[in-house]
Chain A
Amino acid sequence: MKKAFELTNHTADMGIIAYGADMKELLSNAALALFSLITEPGSIEERSHVNLKVRSDEKDSLLVEWLNELLYLFDTKHILFSRFDIRNLTHNELKATCYGETFDPMKHKIKTGAKAATYHMLKLDRNNDGYKAQVILDI
């Protein structure tokens, strides 16, 4: 199977490279990469779900907005997610159901505290194999 994502390194920050056969898979893998940077995704059980709608002007900004929306939920509601079902996707809007559970410091070891997805060195490419995106995260 093709890999879903990689984590990359910057001096002050970290980034993710996500892959997907289509944009839906790419968005889902980018979100998984984000949470695997924060904690061990295997430790997140699917105990609850959240329905999300994210809008943006362009496809690559949609990716940044989507990750920022998930970070916002983590920061305010303390929910960690491990599965993302992108139900609906247009060029500037996505609807998703995200599955996960509330952060429990006894259960979920924090690896790195990501705080924002940036536009810096943002890349979204398409080739014969599908999509590839790079996002740098502020830590």
Chain B
Amino acid sequence: MTQWQGQLIKIDDYRWKIPDNYKTGMRVPGLIYASKEMLESIREEQTPEQVANVAFLPGIVDYSLAMPDIHWGYGFPIGGVAATNIKDGVVSPGGVGYDINCGVRLLRTSLSEADVRPRISQLIDALFHNVPSGLGSEGKMKISQKEMNQLMVEGARWAVKRGLGCEEDLDVTEGGGCFAGADPSKVSDKAIKRGMPQAGTLGSGNHFLEIQVVKKIFDSHTASIMGITDIGQILVLIHTGSRGFGHQICTDHLRIMEQAVSKYGIKLPDRQLACAPVESEEGQGYLAAMACAANYAWVNRQCIAHWVKESFSGIFGRSPEELGMRQIYDVAHNIAKIEEHTIDGRTLKVCVHRKGATRAFPAGHKDTPKRYKEIGQPVLVPGDMGRCSFVAVGTQKAMSETFGSTCHGAGRVLSRGAAKRGFRGADIIRELQSRGIIVRAGSVPALAEEVSQAYKDVTEVIDVVHQAGISRKVAMAVPMAVIKG
């Protein structure tokens, strides 16, 4: 593929603008957060073209934004953020993605590396056994249709009511682990049939469960409020979403949106951007179904976190409370939300699409949990399995510049095929093991797709959002053991 040849106007070291006259039909300019060094791979991938395409969406306000972990997606780039005015704007399922409410949950423990290292094999085997993973994996919970209807509406609370976790978990989950407005009647039978057996499973692809060791603390006061106090402390990171349920909902509603595009006379440069006015029947229908999938994903991470705690408890012979196991936070990074933002001095209700982007609300914001009111909402940024992950917090600058959004991870640089041609799963397991990282994988060949070299270095990504001021980095942790689906 040839490099993208369009104009990127430098605003400062971390902001690059695509002027709105780049393409006829753009309603706003594009804005990419990246370092100069990142621009080459961004141009190589043609992703600025996708940022420009998103700027065609009716009702889009301010900018079509891209975070530094931007990479090529369908329609929307991954790492894309777009806010549309709910009065005259659209909602686009492609701006959320197939894996609705794909997200991450981080747990802290009072254990140290020295406590865990001698038992790491047993621990990872217990986790591999207790948390169903892999392609087509089915959960150990048997959910009836009636229960499915309840969990679609209740979200994480549904699991807590069944003894899977505690009330405190909900306080430190984005939106309390429940997306309001969920309507199971907008969800197809097919989606329900896909979703019922998969609740409480990790899945496959880039989803994982990681035991991590804290390596750096950049801001000890902020970290301590999250319960991150020591170098060498053990954390657990869970990355999964709404499985086949979310995929089917996205597929079903894209079909509806395809028709809506011609019904409402919307002109788009890419069919995968299919959308409908937020306030139309189609738009409301999608948002109600999307909420069901978001709630399903929160149930999923809620259950998995509970089984993680049980597994630790079984291996160390102490209760999760005695082990200091507590949820730090849970964020969605594929979602569309109706939020209030101030644009050019005016407060507007907008539909913020975050596709591979994380909400990053500042200290004092009404939706920042009570525990974090003083420091800002935690932002969880996983890296690849061979490098590291970051914990950051949201800032006021994110509120004024990016609709309270920031990056979500490392972002791919190599295609899955290229990764497979260059690396073998078995070699990766050996190489990681030599560095003290144990891997368990549902499919060893597929593991090659997730090799470190297939991803951007997450450190560069976090440095951009930190320097640009749209989040503030707090701590860094490295993997000790990884389960890949």
Contacts and interface: CB of A to CB of B under 8 A. Distances in A.
Interface string B264-297: 0000001110100000000000000000000000
B443 A120 contact: no
Interface in A125-139: 136, 138-139
A122 interface: yes
Interface residues of B, number: 44
Contacts of A87: none
Given A110-B445, A139-B205, A116 B98 contact: yes
Given A9-B416, A11-B412, A138 B71 contact: no
Contact of B271 (A8, A103, A119): A119
Given A13-B416, A110-B443, A115-B98, A74 B74 contact: no
Given A76-B194, A139-B205, A12 B72 contact: yes
A121 B417 CA distance: 18
B258 interface: yes
Q: Considering residues A10, A14, A122, which has the most beta carbons from chain B within 10 angstroms of its beta carbon?
A: A10
Interface stretch (B163-171, B244-252, B426-434): B244-252
Contacts of B417: 7-9, 14
B415 A116 contact: no
Contacts of A113: 135-136, 204-205, 443, 446
Q: Considering residues A12, A116, A138, which has the most beta carbons from chain B within 10 angstroms of its beta carbon?
A: A12
Contact of B272 (A74, A112, A118): A118
A75 B251 CA distance: 14
Contact of A115 (B94, B190, B205, B259): B205
B193 interface: yes
A111 B442 CA distance: 11
Report whether over half of chain A's contact residues are helix, strand or loop; otherwise say mixed.
loop
A78 interface: yes
A139 B98 CA distance: 10
B445 A116 contact: no
Contacts of A110: 134-135, 204, 442-443, 445-446
A109 to B, nearest CB: 6
A61 to B, nearest CB: 7
A61 B255 contact: yes
A73 B251 CA distance: 14
Interface in B390-426: 412-418
Contact of A12 (B71, B136, B271): B71
B99 to A, nearest CB: 8
B184 interface: no
Contact of A78 (B78, B136, B416): B136
Contacts of A74: 136
B248 A72 contact: yes
Contact of A11 (B71, B197, B446): B71
B247 A120 contact: no
Contact of B247 (A12, A115, A136): A115
Contacts of A120: 73-75, 94, 270-272
Contacts of B78: 12
A61 B262 CA distance: 15
Contacts of A57: 258-259
Interface in A3-40: 7-14
In the A-B complex, the 10 residue pairs with the closest CB atoms: A120-B74, A9-B417, A9-B415, A113-B135, A120-B272, A113-B204, A119-B271, A110-B443, A75-B244, A118-B74
25 contacts: A7-B417, A11-B71, A11-B415, A12-B78, A14-B416, A57-B259, A65-B255, A72-B194, A75-B198, A76-B193, A76-B244, A110-B135, A110-B442, A110-B443, A110-B446, A113-B446, A115-B247, A118-B74, A119-B271, A119-B272, A120-B73, A120-B270, A120-B272, A122-B271, A138-B98
Given A57-B259, A110-B442, A138-B247, 11 more contacts: A11-B71, A11-B414, A12-B78, A12-B412, A76-B194, A109-B445, A110-B445, A111-B446, A113-B135, A113-B136, A120-B270
